[in-house]
Chains A and B, each alone.
Chain A
Amino acid sequence: MATRSDGPIIEVRDVVRTFGAVRALDGVDLAVEPGIVYGLLGPNGAGKTTLIRVLATLLRPDRGSVRVAGVDVVADPNAARARIGLAGQFAAVDAFLTGRENVEMVGRLYGLSPRNARQRADDVLERIGLTRDAGRQVGTYSGGMRRRLDLAASLVGRPEVMFLDEPTTGIDPRNRLELWDLIEDLVAAGTSVLLTTQYLDEADRLAARIGVIDRGVVVQEGTADELKDAVGGSVLELVVPDGHHVRAMETITAATGEEVLELAGRRLRVAAREGSRTLLEVVRALDAAGVEADDIGLHKPSLDDVFLAVTGEPTGQDTDVGHDIDDPASTVAGDRSRGRRG
């Protein structure tokens, strides 16, 4: 960062934002150091998009303070806007303009001269792999191309801080890998990135630090390793025969004192704080209760387990397009409705 080498680039203190009776943000605290990717995880309706909208000056918090790149976002939104780039959860590009026209327009609105805007538009389009399609109207683009164009547009102002709301949702695996490269290059060039994601592998790969947000509060924070350690030694996963769920869960809880999570397909999961000793205890207890497990194994915890342990709910990771699919595994107690923009 040219301007600041010390202190957080994003600083959120006790931010509350309600929509009627819904407390979308319920006292969020967050500090992000400059020059890293910070990953925000959380189930549907947790408040990720709301937080990004507050950070990007689109929503005023009811309470609390928000500083981005040293600027008080609430008091001086325009100064903040000159330093940020936003790629929202849904691509906001004009179908009737060409790809290049879209990016150029955003460049102009960042205050670039027409020549400069054109030059930079060409650069980012090339970088994001859309040069060949830049002269076509966006109405003819695929969904993934639109999202990439949206990202290109937010890069054209060369922002110090980028906010990316689920940047790779709906993007094919190859382009996703390339977007990951792009994000890493951005950070190498000095940009700080805050992104939300439904994909834990994405957070694992990109994010130097991760915050888990649930019901409008940051419930866990740290590096991926720290978060995994916090779950405990290992995770025990077992498959039980049909109809034995409840008995098995009760038995395991009685034996280990841990809450058992029920996944799809007769699959149960429980933290094994004492590794193989826990495994043995569980096997013995199940044996005594007359439940025979079809499959049982000990794993190192993944970010999935962190997510499950912290929010008590599975993510939508297994579904290819995240929360857009009505998969019970991706729902969250409470609310899965997404508010319309604006």
Chain B
Amino acid sequence: MAATIEPSRLPSPDRALRERATFTSTVADTWVLTRRNLLRNIRLPQVLLFSTVQPIMFLLLFTYVFGGAIGQALPPVAEGEYINWLMPGLLVQISVFGAGQTAIGLTDDLSKGVIDRFRSLPMARSAVLAGRTFADLGRNTAVVTLMLLVGFLIGFRYQTSFLRFLAGAALGLAFAYSLSWVMAVIGLYVKDPEATQSAVFLPVFPLVFASSVFLPTETMPDWLRVFADNQPITTVTNALRALMLGEGALPEGQVLASQLLISLVWIASITLVFSLLAIRAYRRAVN
């Protein structure tokens, strides 16, 4: 190798490098890391499969296995089609599941020493977590788009306006973004990539099933229903459903405006609280 190269190619040290993060350099660093993390999503086969095959499998299985039996029990806005009811719920479900990737990606970087490399560079510190969550938002957007396309193919039809439909999708993505921060905290505390897998998915399953994601909560036992009705996954699912199907999709006594408002408050507070916790956990994890 070196034998073929004249030593003069080796540059002297230079001091043209920046020493302080400025706004522009922070944006640039965040973009560099977002791009890197997006490439990770695309190029690692296991991540790509998880992001594409798994959600579509859920969509198809639920539609065709449960759809026939459940269709009759749904509110009229679903027009007797379970897929109409299911689609908004699944958008929330994949947001919750997908957020786990934030934790897994972070622990992967931690255990491979990549985070150490970043920390030895004169880059904006915030870019590590921001680049991670932005990339996961990008990934989620792609997954949601794919899901909706497949959904349309097998019969999903929104019952409101295109704008409300888009607003619904955006709400789901915003919720997913807030959950990325929760998962970042879990990942940064657990640290070990394998352990993170279960630390992330164990709590996610009961939370998703004890909600209005798959079915209305009316038939659940009282103790479970109290929990299900008041947890954010249900609130966001209900708001999303009302945006896509109309207010008739909401349980007795609820209106879109209030569900939407409560959802946005949930999303804002989760993002705020958990991003602060994540920054603290990040500092702790690396020292």
Contact = CB atoms under 8 A, between A and B. Distances in A.
Contacts of A322: none
A156 to B, nearest CB: 10
Nearest to A90: B113
Interface string A21-65: 000000000000000000000000000000001001111100000
B36 A105 contact: yes
B10 A78 contact: no
Interface range for A: 35 or more
A190 B7 CA distance: 13
A266 B285 CA distance: 47
Given A109-B32, A175-B1, A341-B111, A79 B19 contact: yes
Contact of A81 (B28, B110, B115, B120): B120
Given A58-B120, A79-B19, A96 B40 contact: yes
A190 B13 contact: yes
A337 interface: no
B19 to A, nearest CB: 5
Interface string B248-259: 000000000000
B15 A126 contact: no
Interface string B65-90: 00000000000000000000000000
Contact of B1 (A110, A128, A157): A128
Contact of A108 (B15, B19, B21, B32): B32
Given A59-B287, A86-B117, A126-B5, A97 B13 contact: no
A127 interface: yes
Interface string B166-195: 000000000000000000000000010000
Given A105-B36, A175-B1, A189-B12, A57 B119 contact: yes
A186 B2 CA distance: 12
* Most chain B CB neighbours (cut-off 10 Å) among A59, A83, A94: A94
Contacts of A191: 12-13
Given A93-B114, A109-B122, 4 more contacts: A96-B43, A111-B17, A111-B18, A341-B111
Interface of B: 1-5, 7, 9-15, 17-21, 25, 28-29, 32, 36, 39-40, 43-44, 110-123, 191, 285-287
